Amino acid sequence: MFSKYSIVEHEPTSSECVEIGKTSKGVRVLINKVFAEADSRIVVSDVSLHRFFGLKGGCSSILPGIANVDTIKRNHAMMVNPNVQIGVQQGNPVYEGMQEAAGFAKVDLGVCLIANAKGELVKAYAGNLVESFHAASQEYLDLCTTSFKEKSQIVIASAGGSPYDRDLYHACAWLEGALRVVKDDGAIILVAECPGAYGNKTFYEWTKNFRELKEIQSEIRKKYALGSEVAYQLLKAREKAKIYLVSVMPDYYASSVFKLRTARTTNGALQSAQRVLGKDSKIMVLPYAPMTFPVQEEKPHGDEPQHSYHATSELS
């Protein structure tokens, strides 16, 4: 079928782009000229959690999907804002810029797909791009939200296997869910094979060169680069908890550059964490971290202390 059509792959640094508007934050929105000037504009995307878009899909198909690199950098530089969180769209300046850009693009039809942990289609929404994405986002959050009563000293988070753990750059994206449930000065055990080692070169360089959170925040505001956001998130995670990595990645990179504690098995990492935090430490498990959005239950006044709780959420 595709032999009848011309296939154009967008390259943010070199594809010809045209300006279609300016966001309320003053970001000039330039997108791929072929798409902007097409007779019909249809966007098909899947919906998933994202570390600083809130949720990916729909609007993100325009920005950053087919946007110019300068547009992407200026919009994504707002990721250090405290309102930028996984699973959060309202009040998230990065997402709001993406939504405005999607409105400028004048998409004729938006199709948003929702899949479960096995990759099977659960539901689809179609119509106005922004409206379809909002409806699909709420549906996805309803599926992947899991409640918990108390934060835990130790959280075991699996990246969920391939392709989520193909390298450390991608695997670290799923620390965000674990950070929502781990106590300060606790431990996160990230289970991710990482056959591609650290992956992104910018992620490697920024992690190696920056040691202070304020320093990396300032640099991102000045010159965001793809990969710098994960360096920032890893540094933020290390400030809150001890990070153990269970992977095949060489210890030189994991320990010396990324300052992670390493183990070859999950049990080995758990035993190491328990030696530091105590054998009676509360443990929580996120077996599908990329598809799990933990939300803490509001504790009624006068509740008794909660006991050990294990969150094992899976899209059904």
Mean pLDDT rounded to a whole number for the chain: 90
- Please tell me the predicted confidence (pLDDT) of residue 60: 96
pTM recorded for the entire structure: 0.84
47 vs 222, residue with greater confidence: 47
Residues 260, 130 contacting (CB under 8 angstroms):
no
CATH code that applies to domain 149-296: 3.90.226.30
pLDDT band at 2 (very low <50, low <70, confident <90, very high): confident
Q: What are all long-range contacts of 61-66, with beta carbons under 8 Å and residues at least 24 apart?
A: 61/102, 61/129, 62/31, 62/98, 62/101, 62/102, 62/105, 62/107, 62/129, 63/29, 63/31, 63/97, 63/98, 63/101, 63/102, 64/12, 64/98, 65/10, 66/10, 66/31, 66/32, 66/35
pLDDT at 307 over 50: no
The arithmetic mean of pLDDT across residues 239-267, rounded, is: 91
Other Cβ atoms closer than 10 A to 214:
9
- Please tell me the predicted confidence (pLDDT) of residue 314: 38
Q: Domain 8-144 belongs to what topology? A: Rossmann fold (3.40.50)
User: What are the domain boundaries of the chain?
Assistant: 8-144, 149-296
User: 201-209 and 228-240 are packed helices; what angle lies between their axes, rounded to 10 degrees?
Assistant: 50
Q: What is the pLDDT of residues 136-186, one digit of tens each?
A: 999 999 989 999 999 999 999 998 888 888 999 999 988 988 999 999 999
140 Cα distance to chain centroid:
15
pLDDT at 29 over 70: yes
Q: What is the pLDDT of residues 72-124, one digit of tens each?
A: 999 999 998 989 989 999 999 999 999 999 999 999 999 999 998 788 999 99
The arithmetic mean of pLDDT across residues 260-274, rounded, is: 94
Residues 172, 194 contacting (CB under 8 angstroms):
no
pLDDT at 309 over 70: no
Distance CA 99, CA 130 (A): 7
| 149-296 and 8-144 share a CATH fold | no
- Please tell me the predicted confidence (pLDDT) of residue 297: 87
- Please tell me the predicted confidence (pLDDT) of residue 301: 59
